[in-house]
Structure 1
Amino acid sequence: MIPSTPATATRAFFSFPKVTDPARHRDYNAWHQLDHRPENLALPGVVHGDRWVRTPACERLGSYPDTALAGSQYLAMYWFAEPTADSVPEWKDLGDRAIHQGRRPELAWTERPMTGMFRPVQGYVAPRALVTLAALPFRPHRGVHVEVSRVGTALHPEVADLSRFEHATRIPDLLARDGVAGVWTFRSAPSRSHPDGPVVRIRLVYLETDPVAFTRALAADPLPAPPAALASTATLLLTGPLATITPWEWDWFDEPDATVAGASA
């Protein structure tokens, strides 16, 4: 059997967690990075997993029309090996066992405004990255730029036209920009109860430059706008930068030291 890679995966999980207790960010990151994520990555059915943080600097540069997503400070994702009929239930079982083992302390002080399975649509690597598409998520990066949007049923011709514009115009523009290593696009997996319902789309841009600096440059020189006839096809839910998380460097949301603040006043 040929091993699965992100380039051959047909399922990816996305979650946008929110820590509801400002004093628990370090606890959340210690649990996730030192317990939860390693256990997930150890599963044979998980190809790769990563997570990023919307630091205060990142948050100031983002746009969050969806109020539910506006407060999420993190983004986590996992890629699943084939056959997903085996790998996804195994992953879900690990999460259930962790609860009964008392290893889910974060449930008391986190929310997940958006979470679910997505299907990878298409991936691209910038020529400067010099890696294969399968290797892109494993390549070190400094952060990502994310856009989350919602469209009506994918059977609408406008959705196909907008998708063509995205892949033919916007993504080549992104790949040509300084600091972009590659791009992956995703769509939400259809629900059994509403197979023709709205679709959530995610564009994930891997950055080898500072995500805050990249987003400022993007604001100064925006991506090409879609044709006027397609402008209302997608509803933007969230867009902005997130930084790669370095283990034990979890001080983004710490309260300023009162003594230092007083001395500098």
Structure 2
Amino acid sequence: MTELPGIPSDEVAGVLTTGRGDVGTLFVSMARRHPEGTDAEYLRWHTLDHRPEQHRLSAVRASLRLVSTPECRDARLSGDERFDAVDHVMTYFFTDPGGMAGFLDLSRALGNAGRKLPLLPPVERGVYDVREKRAAPRVKVGADVLPWWPVRGAFLIVERESWSPEPLLDVEGVAGVWSTTALDVGPELASAAAGQHLTYCFLDDDPVATAHRLHPILAPREPRFAAPFHPVVPHQWDRHVP
């Protein structure tokens, strides 16, 4: 792969002074596969209807929908069994936790308009404070803009304690890393324990291949959950399904 030209944004003060982005909070919903096996139809509805509507909220800055395939499941590290059923992950990138009020209001309004399907069975939802953002210098774009960067996949790591992102950035396929910590926002929005750590790896290589490269680094840390995912491909709803 030919490397893009120039100096990485995170090393150029003139780029950083123009803006660092305003994403400070993630809403991460982890769910099971569809109980009737119609995952592709669910992804179609969510991607064409529900997800775009969220962007009318000024606090929502980006979003990313992820799916686990059988190959992805085989590439997971063993961890806490409560996460074994996770096959879908939806992430909304918010400016701050205050945006959650509008998020709930919009959900109710869409439901009242007959615009909601039954949600996928939840495993865990969490509202996370973004603590650290890092990008691999080879990708050039800065860590602040990774939510808008066209990923080939993502790798999520749930742990009880935080770790430095540096070793992950040296792994081929890891384009950037965001480190986050779960907030205590109440049961209406979240079930993740306050203080739980979620590391979000943005990938520029096949997620399964990258997962195997990450194993030697992550195995000694004994994460609660460590798994690769594919992004949803619009209008190819059955391309990546559980």
The reply to whether residue 247 of structure 1 matches residue 238 of structure 2 is no
- Work out whether residues 6 and 47 of structure 1, in 8 Å CA contact, stay in contact via their aligned partners in 2: no
The 1:247/1:6 distance shift into structure 2, 3 A limit, reads farther
- Secondary structure (helix, strand or coil) at the match of 2:128 reads strand
- Correspondence for 1:131: 141
Rg larger for: 1
The reply to whether residue 184 of structure 1 matches residue 196 of structure 2 is no
- Correspondence for 1:120: 130
The reply to whether residue 173 of structure 1 matches residue 160 of structure 2 is no
- Correspondence for 1:23: 37
- Work out whether residues 6 and 48 of structure 1, in 8 Å CA contact, stay in contact via their aligned partners in 2: no
The reply to whether residue 111 of structure 1 matches residue 98 of structure 2 is no
- Work out whether residues 14 and 77 of structure 1, in 8 Å CA contact, stay in contact via their aligned partners in 2: yes
What one-letter code is carried by the residue in structure 1 that aligns with 2:40? R
Quote how far apart the aligned CAs of 1:46 are: 0.5
TM-score w.r.t. structure 2 length?
0.81
The reply to whether residue 34 of structure 1 matches residue 28 of structure 2 is no
Q: Partners of 2:20 and 2:103 in 1: how far apart?
A: 16
What one-letter code is carried by the residue in structure 2 that aligns with 1:120? V
Unaligned runs of 5+ in 1: 152-162, 255-265
The 1:237/1:41 distance shift into structure 2, 3 A limit, reads same
**CA deviation string 1:114-159 (max 9, x = no partner):** 01211111110110111122211111110011111235xxxxxxxx
Quote how far apart the aligned CAs of 1:68 are: 2.9
Q: Partners of 1:68 and 1:17 in 2: how far apart?
A: 11
- Work out whether residues 61 and 95 of structure 2, in 8 Å CA contact, stay in contact via their aligned partners in 1: yes
Q: Partners of 1:192 and 1:139 in 2: how far apart?
A: 31
Q: Partners of 1:78 and 1:11 in 2: how far apart?
A: 8
**CA deviation string 1:96-118 (max 9, x = no partner):** 112211222133xx211101211
The 1:12/1:224 distance shift into structure 2, 3 A limit, reads closer
Quote how far apart the aligned CAs of 1:38 are: 0.4
The 1:217/1:224 distance shift into structure 2, 3 A limit, reads closer
- Name whichever structure is richer in helix by fraction: 1
- Work out whether residues 75 and 208 of structure 2, in 8 Å CA contact, stay in contact via their aligned partners in 1: yes
Q: Partners of 2:106 and 2:20 in 1: how far apart?
A: 21
- Correspondence for 1:223: 217
**CA deviation string 1:196-251 (max 9, x = no partner):** x75211011111000111112233xx11777xxxx6xxx73211111111012222
Q: Partners of 2:103 and 2:185 in 1: how far apart?
A: 19
**CA deviation string 1:75-98 (max 9, x = no partner):** 11111125x43x221111111112
The reply to whether residue 97 of structure 1 matches residue 109 of structure 2 is yes
Unaligned runs of 5+ in 2: 1-18, 188-192
CA RMSD of the aligned region, Å?
2.4
Q: Percent identical across equivalent pairs?
A: 28
- Secondary structure (helix, strand or coil) at the match of 1:58 reads helix
**CA deviation string 1:157-209 (max 9, x = no partner):** xxxxxx4xx22xxx22221222221100111003579xxx7521101111100
Q: Partners of 2:135 and 2:166 in 1: how far apart?
A: 10
Q: Partners of 1:46 and 1:175 in 2: how far apart?
A: 27
**CA deviation string 1:49-82 (max 9, x = no partner):** 1111111110111135333321121111111125
- Secondary structure (helix, strand or coil) at the match of 1:105 reads coil
- Correspondence for 1:208: 204
